[in-house]
Amino acid sequence: MPELVQVEGWRRLAARRARGRRVRALRVLEPRVLRNVGARTLARSLRGARLGPPRRHGKWLLLPAGQGLLALHFGMSGSLSWSADEREERYDRLLLVLEDGCLHYGSRRKLGGLWWIPRGGDLEEATGALGPDASTLSAARLRALLGARRGALKPALMDQALVAGLGNELVDEILWRARLRPTRAVAELSRSELDALHGSLRAVLRAALPLGDLPREGRWLQAVRRERAPRCPRCGAALRRDRVGGRTSLWCPREQR
DNA sequence: GCTCATGTTCCCCT
DNA sequence: CAGGGGAACATGAG
């Protein structure tokens, strides 16, 4: 379930459970999740390595390990969990066995993966170009980024090279709160609409980051996302589901302009 | 059986 | 070159 807010939750998990520990062993259950390194090489690099403070940029979790950096991406169905023992869970693809516990990298669809960046290596080779993390964006920065952009609003916000961390569900939530429709042309947004967009971005992240997830009840679009005939949690209008930028978008035709 | 899924990449158009 | 559409990737859930 990985967008910025979930990855931030896993970053906190790693900070609490893994930071400062040494790696006892690496268990690669599914070799395909290793994207730029083989299991042998990675095991040699990691064994005995001490884990540093985890960082996050957009949807990437960056875990310093010994002399290098482990970069984790979760695709559409990945997750990170911790257990005191080494028992494998259903969709585990890789285990990092630590001195006092075990980190589990799991994923059902295997769309994500792990990259190893040795000392002096180039992180951007793994992550591709990333814009500033969405959680750090000022209103002025957001205006500047969108000012250099044409086309529809939603694909712009989901472009990781423009702003890092926002995915389909976060963007739908932010646009719904800002009352802007996903297909709105970026170029025609007024100053007050841009301010509303930034305010909604901040509000959504402020509420969701501590949870490590989007709230799924109350006045949140997310609360009705999985219903067959969802209605707007604010005005009750029937919501629309359209493809925008290749993704299913949920939005309120009455309120979002 | 069928459709859809919180992501990214690559190819082809405009 | 930038942006948009579509397919591919892999596999489970409804």
Q: Is A3 a catalytic residue?
A: yes
The whole-angstrom separation of Cα A252 and Cα A11 is: 33
- CA-to-CA distance for A206 and A135, rounded, in angstroms? 9
Q: Which helix (H) or strand (E) holds A25?
A: strand A23-28
Q: Which member of A11, A17, A56, A59 is catalytic?
A: A59
Pairing of strands A101-107, A55-57: unpaired
A59 part of the active site: yes
| pLDDT digits 0-9 by tens, A74-113 | 999 999 999 999 999 999 999 999 999 999 999 987 778 9
- The DSSP H or E segment spanning A55 is strand A55-57
The upper half-sphere exposure of residue A155, i.e. CA atoms within 13 Å in the direction of its Cβ, equals 12
Nucleotide with C1' nearest the A127 CA: B8
Q: How many residues does chain A have?
A: 257
Predicted pLDDT of residue A108: 85
The residue type found at A184 is: R
pLDDT for A1 equals 61
Question: Using CA of residue A123, residue A126, residue A128, residue A134, what is the dihedral sign?
Answer: negative
With the C-alpha atoms ordered A116, A122, A128, A132, is the resulting torsion angle positive or negative? positive
Distance A250 CA to B1 C1' (A): 27
CB atoms within 10 A of CB A242: 13
Q: What share of chain A is helix, strand, coil (3-state, %, to 5)?
A: 30, 25, 40
First to last CA, chain A: 28
What's the CA gap between A53 and A40, in Å, rounded? 24
Q: What is the DSSP letter of A188?
A: G
Instruction: Output the pLDDT for position A236.
Output: 96
Residue type at A72 in one-letter notation: L
Residue nearest to nucleotide C4 (CA to C1'): A245
pLDDT of residue A109: 79
**What does the mean pLDDT of chain A come to?**
95
* pLDDT score of A246: 86
**For strand C, is any atom closer than 7 Å to the CB of A247?**
no
Known active-site residue A247: yes
Regions of chain A short of the pLDDT cut 50: none
Looking up tokens 């949870």 gives: A211
Write the single-letter amino acid at A47: R
Which pTM was predicted?
A: 0.96
Is A206's CB less than 7 Å from nucleic acid strand C?
no
